[in-house]
Amino acid sequence: DAGITQSPRHKVTETGTPVTLRCHQTENHRYMYWYRQDPGHGLRLIHYSYGVKDTDKGEVSDGYSVSRSKTEDFLLTLESATSSQTSVYFCAISSDRGASVDTQYFGPGTRLTVL
Amino acid sequence: AQRVTQPEKLLSVFKGAPVELKCNYSYSGSPELFWYVQYSRQRLQLLLRHISRESIKGFTADLNKGETSFHLKKPFAQEEDSAMYYCALSYGSSNTGKLIFGQGTTLQVKP
């Protein structure tokens, strides 16, 4: 497995509380992504980063924010968690491959339950 | 808007039977397509990408621009092929690597 870790791996929280998920990589890859995985929807991109302090929105960014202050860390924050944000969250990384972006490598996932 | 559709939630076959996992896409630009696989208790991983035209673990996929399809095929299924399979499309500018995934198909290979 590529050097990607996610923490925590499991979390149960209550509606309205803030939650931060961490993705850490040891590959020095430029690109990092956050996805959520839900039955019937596959994986959907929440936010991504193309460098330190460079981030942009994905398909389902409402209710989420991200930060990347170091190459190795990409944080996903739910400012005020809602039950609809119960999901499995995956981080992915990739590097440059010539003029395009290379294969994405995925972390182990974080299972988040919002009660 | 870009879209990836996998019409089958579950595909169940017997060992040794041929397998075809369907994927259709909608995209106005030049598509770059992938198949990712998630085995039980393992991470999501790349199976193959159309530009490399490789055969991985006996699987192949051909991009058909006329039918906007990228079906995954294997002539003889093995029990270890049982997994969740996702078709994905790279969209946006080439220097972002953003992917849109289909809903996924669970392949169950029975002994």
Q: What is the CATH number of the domain that holds B50?
A: 2.60.40.10
Residues of B in contact with A61 (CB under 8 A): none
Judged against a pLDDT cut of 80, whether residue B52 lies above it is answered with no
pLDDT band with cut points at 50, 70 and 90 for residue B95: low
- In this prediction, residue A101 carries a pLDDT of 67
User: Does residue A21 surpass a pLDDT of 90?
Assistant: yes
Q: What is the pLDDT of residues A22-63, one digit of tens each?
A: 999 999 999 999 999 998 899 999 999 999 999 999 999 999
For chain B, percent of residues with pLDDT exceeding 90: 70
Question: Given 3.40.50.720, 2.60.40.10, 1.10.390.10, 3.60.9.10, which CATH number is that of A4-110?
Answer: 2.60.40.10
Q: Please report which confidence band the pLDDT of residue B96 belongs to, taking 50, 70 and 90 as the band edges.
A: confident
What's residue A102's pLDDT? 73
Alpha helices for B1-108 (secondary structure H):
none
C-alpha distances in angstroms, A111 versus A43, B47, B104? 14, 24, 19
- With CA atoms as reference, the chain A residue closest to B86 would be A42
Q: Does A45 touch chain B (CB under 8 A)?
A: yes
Instruction: Indicate yes or no: CB of B44 within 8 angstroms of CB of A44.
Output: no
pLDDT digits over B41-51, tens only?
Answer: 899 999 998 87
- Find, in chain A, the residue whose alpha carbon is nearest to that of B9: A40
- pLDDT confidence of residue A98: 64
Give A92-103 pLDDT, tens digit per residue. 998 876 666 678
What is the pLDDT averaged over residues B57-82? 94
Q: What is the nearest CA distance from A24 to chain B, expressed in angstroms?
A: 15
Cβ distance A33 to B94 less than 8 Å, yes or no, reads no
Question: By C-alpha distance, which of A113, A92, A99, A95 is closest to A9?
Answer: A113
Domain count, chain B: 1
The domain in which residue B92 lies consists of 3-110
Residue A45 tokens, joined: 């991109």
Nearest to A103 by CA among B7, B58, B48, B15: B48
Q: What is the pLDDT of residue B50?
A: 82
Residues of B in contact with A50 (CB under 8 A): 95-96
Q: Which of A45, A103, A109 sits opposite B98 (nearest CB)?
A: A45
